[in-house]
Structures are given as structure tokens and as C-alpha cells.
Amino acid sequence: MMTSSPPRLAVFDMDGTLIDSLPDLAACADWLLLQYRLPGISPEAVRPMIGDGVAVLVSRLLDHAGPAAARIDRAEATTRYMAHYTPHATDHSRPFPGTVETLAALHAAGWHMAVCTNKPVAAARRILQVMELEKWFVTVGGGDSFSVRKPNPCHLLDTIAQAGGIHARALMIGDHHNDVACATGAHVPVIFARWGYGRPEMEAGATVGADSITEVPHLAGELVPA
């Protein structure tokens, strides 16, 4: 008797892929710097700092501030950032245009979906819930869900396993070189999200690029046929 294959699994990065979170990340970055009596920062300056988790973002903010920030304890600054960001994470952030329609189309085609993000899992789940996106995803693999995080391929592989999938029936969608690197290392095809925050050179190594999230259902179907 033939057994059916596991469902296809589309794994999405979060910031810059599903959600335009720059407004709130940048507002909190500006707030943090001002708390330390450092010059503020613009959203465009924060954009390239996103993608490696909160601790790295805060470290980059303090590096950007120059020698005046050398005295600041970075762990304490990260804690302060998260304490302020968590209740304000959805003040101005929104799903990218076409996100809900894309998730609905994938669901209708029989795909399961998951999130793999370097953002702490509790914060990620709260944002998805507030934006009414949580229902589409079978699991969320956050930056603190496992012992590793992107670009380590085990972050993606563990998220796939947690979702009940297998890597041979999965693909990754993300806007950062971390997404490309972890998918490549996991031998999973990856769609580079050109609509996100990643610089154009970060697409290197991706299986294919997409200018809009609305292209994902078609490309996903080509990469992992039913």
C-alpha cells in the first residue's frame, strides 16, 4: 500500500519577510540611544542592522554611536531594549502587502507553514497573534527556541522537525543572508525576499528571488512540487 508524502512546508523568516517591522524596531532603537544620552538614529540607518537577533542589533546600535557608547553594558542595554520593544512591537509594524493572501493561497494548495526567526519566540508569537497571522503557522522557531539560531542550518532543521515536516519537502523564504545560509546548509531551497531589508548582494546563493511576497505560491510550487 502506498503511503502519502509528508505535507509540503513553507518556512518564513519574520522581520523583513512577513512583517514590515522596521518602524517599531527603529523607534525603539532611537529611544534606547536617547536613554543613554546618545544621538538618535534614523530608520534607514537601522534597516541594515536587522536580521541577527536583538543582542546583535543593540551591539550595532552602540557601535554606531561611537566611543561615547563604549562604557555601556551591552547585555543590560539588550534587556532594556526588549523591555521597551515588547509592548510596542506592533504600534506601527504591519504585514507586507499581500501577506495574508499569500498565506491563504499556500494553505489552499495544501502547504503547512512555519516561522523561523532570530527574534525571541515569545515576542514573535505575540506579534503574529496581534496581527492575526498566528493561525496560519503550525510552529514558530524563535532565536531562543533551540541551542542555535540562523545562520546555523540546525535552526531551520529543528523548526522543520518541530512542524512535523522533512527537509526534502520544505523550503525557506527570507530576506537576509542568514536565511540563505541556513537553508543552503540544510539543503533546503530558498526564495530570497527582495521586498525586505536585505541588501541585493545577500541574494547570492538563493535558489530564486522574488520581488513580491505574492510570487511565493507560484515559486514554491515549482521548487517543491505536490
Contact yes or no for 93/20 (Cβ under 8 A): yes
128-137 long-range contacts (CB < 8 A, ≥24 apart) are 128/14, 130/89, 130/90, 131/19, 131/90, 131/93, 131/94, 131/95, 133/18, 133/95, 133/99, 133/100, 133/103, 136/103, 136/104, 136/107, 137/12, 137/113
Q: Which of 13, 15, 52, 175 is catalytic?
A: 13
In whole angstroms, give the CA distance from residue 9 to residue 165: 6
* Beta bridge partner(s), residue 208: 191
Q: Is residue 30 annotated as a catalytic residue, yes or no?
A: no
List, by residue number, the catalytic residues.
13
